[in-house]
Structure 1
Amino acid sequence: MGFGAYIKNLRKEKGLSQRRLAEMAKVSNTEISRIESGERQKPSPLILKAIAPHLGVSYSELMKKAGYLEEVIEHKCYFESVFRDENGKVIDIEQRAKEMYQKDSDWANLAYRVSTSELTEDEMELIKAQTQALLEQFLKKKK
């Protein structure tokens, strides 16, 4: 499956039209169409970063699927993914908290998706409050 078809499948799984995805990501509808048709073979990192949270995948996943080469550099408390084009030129660098990703990458990706979503401040506070309350409840049970 080509990259365009992959994006189209993700978009359809989320029940989004091209226009709605474009609106949510604040990119042009034409750009989404070009990606899905295969006309845009390697979308820019900015576009991929904008659409990733709305498609339910991580930015780094889209970068790899688009054909950017990833080099992971380990540091004590975090790691970096360095993305390069086919000529070896650095295109983007993404840093992630090591412990969080090692323990549960799905949780880390969910936290990222929430933080980059278009939720209102009140909606974000509600998610934080509910998560905090659940954490406290589970920790009390463990005592």
Structure 2
Amino acid sequence: MSFGEFLKKLRAEKGLSQRQLADLSKISNTEISRMESGERQKPSPKILKEIAPHLGISYRELMAQAGYIEETIEHEKYTEHIFRSDDGEFADTIRMAKNIHKKDSELLTIMNRASDELPKEDIKAIKEFVNFYLNKNKDR
């Protein structure tokens, strides 16, 4: 079953028209139609995140159904889930960067400078430091 057929089936099971799903998820009716018809083969993660709750399916399940490859990274006290497209690129990179920027734009600027100006060993040390605090605060 193609992603478009899967999407159409989910929408029908929820008793929603394309317009109703579009209104609920605040995306265009045309975009819903393109996804269902197969014209839009691989919708963006942002769109999938918007429609998932209204279809009664998790974002992770919808991303997998759309063909994104889920990668699970086990950390000491938490698990991170990321998605990649067929070419190996991170699918959620822009969404994650916008999320960081919204919460603390200075942090994003610092991270960008660090990735441009610091050697790999220093970046590795910074990641270990941040992971230490993430794991430490997980117990609270």
Q: TM-score, with normalisation over the residues of structure 1?
A: 0.63
Aligned to 1:23: 23
Aligned to 1:78: 78
Q: CA shift at 1:79, angstroms?
A: 1.3
Q: Which structure 2 residues correspond to residues 1-143 of structure 1 after superposition, within 5 A?
A: 1-92=1-92
CA distance in 2 between partners of 1:60 and 1:82 (Å): 9
Q: CA shift at 1:14, angstroms?
A: 0.4
CA RMSD across the alignment: 1.5
Q: How many correspondences in the alignment?
A: 94
**Higher relative helix content:** 2
CA distance in 2 between partners of 1:78 and 1:17 (Å): 39
**Higher relative strand content:** 1
Q: CA shift at 1:76, angstroms?
A: 3.1
- Aligned partner of 1:78: which letter? Y
Q: CA shift at 1:77, angstroms?
A: 3.2
Q: CA shift at 1:81, angstroms?
A: 1.2
- Aligned partner of 2:27: which letter? V
State the SS of the aligned residue for 1:31.
helix
Flag structure 1 segments of 5+ consecutive residues without an equivalent. Answer: 95-143
**Which is greater in Rg?**
2
CA distance in 2 between partners of 1:50 and 1:35 (Å): 14
Aligned to 2:116: none
Q: CA shift at 1:8, angstroms?
A: 0.4
Q: CA shift at 1:51, angstroms?
A: 0.2
CA distance in 2 between partners of 1:25 and 1:78 (Å): 30
CA distance in 2 between partners of 1:89 and 1:7 (Å): 24
Q: TM-score, with normalisation over the residues of structure 2?
A: 0.64
State the SS of the aligned residue for 1:88.
coil
Aligned to 1:104: none
CA distance in 2 between partners of 1:53 and 1:76 (Å): 30
